[in-house]
Amino acid sequence: MVREAKSWMERTLPKTVSVETSLLAGLWPVAADRSSLESALLNLILNAQHAMAGHGKVTIEATNLYIDKPIIGAGKDELAPGRYVVLSVSDTGEGIKEEDLASVFEPFFTTKPPGSGSGLGLSMTIGFMRQSGGTIQVATERGVGTTFKLFFPVTTQKEQPARPEKSQAGLSGSGRSVLIAEDEVAVRDTLVAMLSRAGYRVTAATSGDEALKILQADPTFDLLLTDIVMPGRLQGTHLASAVKQLRADLPVIFMSGYASESTLQGTELNPDDTRLMKPVRRADLLAALANALRP
């Protein structure tokens, strides 16, 4: 999974950000949800890019570790002695401020202003690690960088055969066309890659204003997937209202990086609107599209 992630990271991150991997041969087996792990890694990479202001190096490491005494992770989680696989993501950024360190795993915490990205979003990552029976640790130094370590307990379960056809039943794009409005480059490119692999024909816009121009030129899209807060005149809800004047039947799915985006003045959602929290898990994204496009 890390090797595949490195491939899309090198395509989507700016050339001024280098990605290095160090993967131990013979890693012990762990049990974890792949989609959640992909989302966690994407989240950490986006945070690393932001911390480095688009210039620096990201290092991803995976290694085996035997713990002979309990250790404490984020949120006071305690790991019992035993065997673990540790996935680390390090950056050469500015580091996390001491006053922010205790808050980075809280739901909806962000150091970014509205319209500047999806925030840290680490509450989803720590929740995923707890569901996996592990935890996460963070080490940071101002002016040097930050390292997040994900601890996965070794499993004794036998690997279950993959069932992609059954699990993805009804989630194929089947050539239907989706317009994405998202201003954050890495998020936008990742969404395009996810949906393209699922069989959708995808067009991407960097703002609500650009998305509306695309729809005015070609109103035949099957669905609009839009961020709520974006630069420019049209926020996600404004874009949806304008689109309804062109295509009243066009399904719209909203995305937001933190809870307050959905209640900012002029961007309120209707009770029936579909909203996905970023970083969006692949399974949740495909399920939302399949539900919105259901006849």
Domains of the chain from N-terminus onward: 12-153 (3.30.565.10), 164-292 (3.40.50.2300)
The region, left, alpha or beta by phi > 0 then psi within -120 to 50, assigned to residue 264 is beta
Q: Using an 8 Å Cβ cutoff, are 11 and 189 in contact? A: yes
Is this prediction's pTM over 0.75? no
Backbone angles phi, psi at 132, to 5 degrees: -85, 0
Pairing status of strand 145-153 against strand 252-256: unpaired
Does residue 79 contact residue 69 with C-beta atoms inside 8 Å? no
Q: CA dist 58 to 18, 26, 262, Å? A: 6, 23, 32
CB 254 within 8 A of CB 261: no
How would you label 70-99 residue by residue, b for 16+ Cβ within 10 Å and e otherwise? ebebbeebebeeeebbbbbbbbbbbbbeee
Q: Which H helix or E strand runs over 126?
A: helix 122-131
Q: What does the pLDDT profile of the chain (295 residues) look like in tens digits?
A: 888 777 777 766 788 988 899 999 899 999 988 878 887 888 888 888 888 988 999 999 999 999 998 888 877 788 889 999 999 999 999 888 887 777 777 765 555 544 444 444 577 788 888 888 899 999 999 989 999 999 999 988 766 554 443 344 445 677 899 999 998 877 787 788 888 888 899 999 999 999 999 999 999 999 999 998 888 899 888 999 999 899 999 999 998 865 544 445 455 667 678 888 876 778 888 899 999 998 7
